[in-house]
Structure 1
């Protein structure tokens, strides 16, 4: 309890004007109990005392009238002359208001709201003061409790590291920032407060207006929840679960939003692994089905040939069928190999400059049998002027043919497929493939590019990797691919954009030919075939015999070298994985015997490293199994014979 100043008698010099006004005190405020109201002389001497002052401060009127009002202040306040400063300010400005601790008679303190008003004479001179005090201890305690609660809540939020928790103003600008937000999003508080929260969203989400849509939903429904890719400060992405809640005050006025984000990348990765496993299982089942499809007619076809070798018409028909089925199997295997090479980063683009129409023709030619089989109508829309592209022609053709094949497979018989190309700028080519097929639900339009995905209803054929190849090959050329569909049964449109247009001074590249490029006139030649797969070796030898060549067959590398020493071949087609002596060593030994022999490697592996290794062994060309008849004929036509080995 602060020490009490000694009692003082009322100032005898109090003006009659002030004494006259004290007469109204009892009439006006003496009975007021909620407020301590009393008058003071201009020196601060207490002149009167109401019931509220007695209740609030604990003094009777007899105990306090005539004493200085510093009675209610602490020793520190009196030592600092703070009470005198209150009177000075009230005198100068007419009134003074403050909140602070004041003391009762028993030494206890209370939180007081104090107003001191100067009382002036008719001439404007300060004659005294009216002091009104209100006990706000309960309100102060409530405020302090709220402050502590808010501080505890702030500390709680600040130290939460698993969630990014922050507030947005009504327009979506960041107002607060916690440790979890700093950890997940990588921004320091001073870097992000005041910036719009759309900075956390990837470009594709901003393009469709997702940030604004989420705020709108939160305003309409009270909250909005979303999962998707979000962007950190360094540009990397994470999969976030986001909840945005609108904040209103008691009157219903919007104050902003709370936003809680959780990094769900680990869960997303687990889900993706599960989905990949599911797709892999579906892929393996599909692969088995796809490989059995061409085998099914081949086996009875072979049986027919064996039972009726003299029936030329039947044998010819079966031969055509076998060729189609082998081509189908080769396409499946090529797709698998391409996907494997892309995944391993082993595809190198072989760029050339050539007309766009030539590449389109290659693609259309590849899918024409499928389009005709399904009785579709294929229309082309190409620029009238000659357009040159600088790209890997086989890969661009593959992009187009895969999209056309996809359209043909997912369009019911008798449908319409449209292929168009246009120049968006001096360097960007846009290719569109549109169909009126089964369409794609909006929820699945991005997943169709994922490996092994075959859409909502799947497909009766294919491995589900065609569109993945399209996307990867487009990205390797610096481009992209997108899909648009109004939904199931409404067809779809794939758009590929590629920065491959060549300059106006570009010249058409020379036609690609198998190496080496030593031309020869067609003519008989001696061909050595070596493969530990006896059926494959015998069939290949039969093919060369039908082409008018003299052939000899070996079933391992050692036999191949021995046969070459006696046969003196012009051409040697060697499997690389033979026993006793592999194809690489057999090629080296045959090359030493016959420097001008043309060596062709036969292998199921065709990556850049595989081709490099066969070239180092002395092979002139690397052919993938099963070698296509046209490729074999090209080798025979493209190299001089006879007596290349002499």
Structure 2
């Protein structure tokens, strides 16, 4: 062993003799104590005596150890740093030395020892030696080590979690720990966020009402608190979070802080929304198939009856009315589908003008009145006596109000009451309220009732779930809003449409002339469509109106027929073979500069209308065209021809 850096401790002969005398008293007092190793040391560290506890703890008998240096119990590492000598010097200078550390038994095993070395003074006050007391604390040490290792494993476990932000707050709410999940979700490095108040994760609107502080108080009151809401990342983006806060107490029930576990629900919510969207689309397609079959069955039956009873004019007329009604239903259905496509692609365009609400409501009522009468509803209209005008697309506004009235009639049991009230709440807004005493809407469904494909009402499953989405879209396009109120199932519903009131500067002073019916004398019309049935029926209709008609079934034939027939007006389908409608229109316009060209197409978006206008068409009609639409075209364009006057 290296020589000690410490000078040898010395004593007088008197002190030596006094210590020898005391050893007899020592043997009498502590020799039989087994729970503690108690023995005396000389100033140089030589073991002078040995009790039963020392023999039990260290494994040596008195004969084996007395006279040896007490450094035998120390590790090589402790010996290399002269720990035994340091302990004696400290006890000599300060009167006492205490320490804990690993010590070694005779068999080489180690134990955790709590050591106290006390200087022993002779009668003359001189330090004569030392009393060393050792206690075995191995069990406590192992328990502490186990706890520390467990805590370390737990710390590593928490820090390595990626899917959850798990961290601790002090009692005031400041961040004191930070794991990898917290870094991933909230984007802060630990040195950037530790010490900051956790309210930094909350949006301004939540901080303004002290939601973070309220959550801590709730956690203290209830033992835990759970919350869902928007949280803010370091870069300012928001995410939907589920949060659990739990208070932490010491053994004395003193508040030590809080644990906070945050889970990012954004992906989960998106998956749920996709699933819900898929479910609604499945239900929509099933409903669509059902709705399309319903009018087809009577049409097919009517066609068969007409084919077998052509001479029965009364029956044919009656069946024609039935077919007309069913075709109207299908047309309405297809219009809804087209509107849905326009909604999803953002292509609904408004043609606004000054519109009187009384006229729009009357037009909507004409469409809905048969359903109201059929179900024996009472209808109440409350509208100001003075004219109420808005700047709107009359067709779309009528469609919007028709949808609301139609729903009210449909979802109100027979003999119900429907009310439409028009009010000007303030100079800037006009309100249209449609109220019924029907089946009502459960509160849980009211928030989603305007979503696409939603059929949240608890009554009839008829319809495609498009109507209210269209209502909301049209209301917003007009700068307005639509809202719903219902006290619950069976308690009726009230829909409120709010529109901007008419700004007088928006008033359109243009006079709208009524269509002038035209004489059909010498007015020749060409019909071209590769659908023979469609071409033949339109030609039949025009002839019954008194016009001279030629028919072609493709674009090339249309150009040839026009060269012979010299039409004043032509209805051209766009999707014809050989030469399509656009090319045919260009050829006809070149040959007949004054001809009126009407495009017939199943597509009616702005881009489609622009394309037909560029090809030389005067008007674009969307199939299927209604008889009144055809008559309006004739009245508008036939009246311009001098030969028809």
TM-score (norm 1): 0.71
* Equivalent position of 1:122 in the other structure: none
* Equivalent position of 1:402 in the other structure: 403
2:576 is paired with a residue whose SS is coil
* Equivalent position of 1:292 in the other structure: 296
Distance 2:476 2:192 in 1: 34
Residue 284 to residue 145, structure 1, CA distance change in 2 (3 Å): same
Deviating more after overlay: 568-577 vs 68-77: 68-77
Residue 83 to residue 238, structure 1, CA distance change in 2 (3 Å): same
1:614 is paired with a residue whose SS is helix
**Paired residue total:** 626
* Equivalent position of 1:586 in the other structure: 584
1:489 is paired with a residue whose SS is coil
Residue 510 to residue 222, structure 1, CA distance change in 2 (3 Å): same
* Equivalent position of 2:311 in the other structure: 307
Q: Indicate whether 1:620 and 2:608 are aligned.
A: no
2:506 is paired with a residue whose SS is coil
Distance 2:198 2:635 in 1: 68
Distance 1:24 1:392 in 2: 116
Q: Indicate whether 1:279 and 2:283 are aligned.
A: yes
1:454 is paired with a residue whose SS is coil
Once the 2 structures are TM-superposed, how far is the Cα of residue 335 of structure 1 from its aligned partner?
Answer: 0.6
Q: How does 1:191-210 map to 2 (within 5 A)?
A: none
Q: How does 1:376-455 map to 2 (within 5 A)?
A: 376-379=377-380, 392-419=393-420, 433-442=434-443, 444-446=445-447, 448-455=449-456
Confirm or deny: 8 A CA contact 1:571 1:600 kept in the other structure.
Answer: yes
Distance 1:397 1:99 in 2: 91
Distance 1:136 1:432 in 2: 83
Once the 2 structures are TM-superposed, how far is the Cα of residue 585 of structure 1 from its aligned partner?
Answer: 2.2
Query: Which digits, 9 at most, give the CA deviation of each residue in 1:607-637, with x for residues without a partner?
Result: 2222121111111111111212332233233
Deviating more after overlay: 68-77 vs 591-600: 68-77
Deviating more after overlay: 217-226 vs 264-273: 217-226
Distance 2:197 2:13 in 1: 68
Query: Which digits, 9 at most, give the CA deviation of each residue in 1:291-323, with x for residues without a partner?
Result: 4366368547856984333x5xx7776665554
* Equivalent position of 2:605 in the other structure: 607
* Equivalent position of 1:18 in the other structure: none
Query: Which protein is bigger by CA-based radius of gyration?
Result: 2
* Equivalent position of 2:150 in the other structure: 149
Q: Indicate whether 1:327 and 2:325 are aligned.
A: no
Confirm or deny: 8 A CA contact 2:2 2:80 kept in the other structure.
Answer: no
Distance 2:562 2:252 in 1: 95
Query: Which digits, 9 at most, give the CA deviation of each residue in 1:507-535, with x for residues without a partner?
Result: 2246798xxx9x98543142333333334
Query: Which digits, 9 at most, give the CA deviation of each residue in 1:198-229, with x for residues without a partner?
Result: 9589999x99x999999989997989799x99
Query: Which digits, 9 at most, give the CA deviation of each residue in 1:333-352, with x for residues without a partner?
Result: 10111112322343334455
Q: How does 1:245-284 map to 2 (within 5 A)?
A: 256=259, 258=261, 263-264=267-268, 268=272, 271-272=275-276, 275=279, 278-284=282-288
* Equivalent position of 1:561 in the other structure: 559
* Equivalent position of 1:540 in the other structure: 538
Residue 599 to residue 107, structure 1, CA distance change in 2 (3 Å): same
* Equivalent position of 2:640 in the other structure: 641
* Structural RMSD (CA): 6.2
Deviating more after overlay: 407-416 vs 426-435: 426-435
TM-score (norm 2): 0.71
Confirm or deny: 8 A CA contact 2:527 2:551 kept in the other structure.
Answer: yes
Once the 2 structures are TM-superposed, how far is the Cα of residue 495 of structure 1 from its aligned partner?
Answer: 5.6
Distance 2:183 2:2 in 1: 50
2:159 is paired with a residue whose SS is helix
* Equivalent position of 2:575 in the other structure: 577
Any unmatched runs of 5+ in structure 1?
Answer: 15-20, 120-125
* Equivalent position of 2:519 in the other structure: 524
Any unmatched runs of 5+ in structure 2?
Answer: 16-21, 121-126
Residue 229 to residue 79, structure 1, CA distance change in 2 (3 Å): closer
Distance 2:425 2:23 in 1: 93
2:640 is paired with a residue whose SS is coil
Confirm or deny: 8 A CA contact 2:36 2:54 kept in the other structure.
Answer: yes
2:376 is paired with a residue whose SS is coil
Q: Indicate whether 1:375 and 2:359 are aligned.
A: no
* Equivalent position of 1:164 in the other structure: 164
Once the 2 structures are TM-superposed, how far is the Cα of residue 167 of structure 1 from its aligned partner?
Answer: 4.6
1:572 is paired with a residue whose SS is strand
Once the 2 structures are TM-superposed, how far is the Cα of residue 591 of structure 1 from its aligned partner?
Answer: 1.8
Confirm or deny: 8 A CA contact 1:10 1:45 kept in the other structure.
Answer: no
Distance 1:8 1:66 in 2: 17
Once the 2 structures are TM-superposed, how far is the Cα of residue 67 of structure 1 from its aligned partner?
Answer: 9.8
Q: How does 1:178-193 map to 2 (within 5 A)?
A: 178-183=179-184, 188-189=189-190
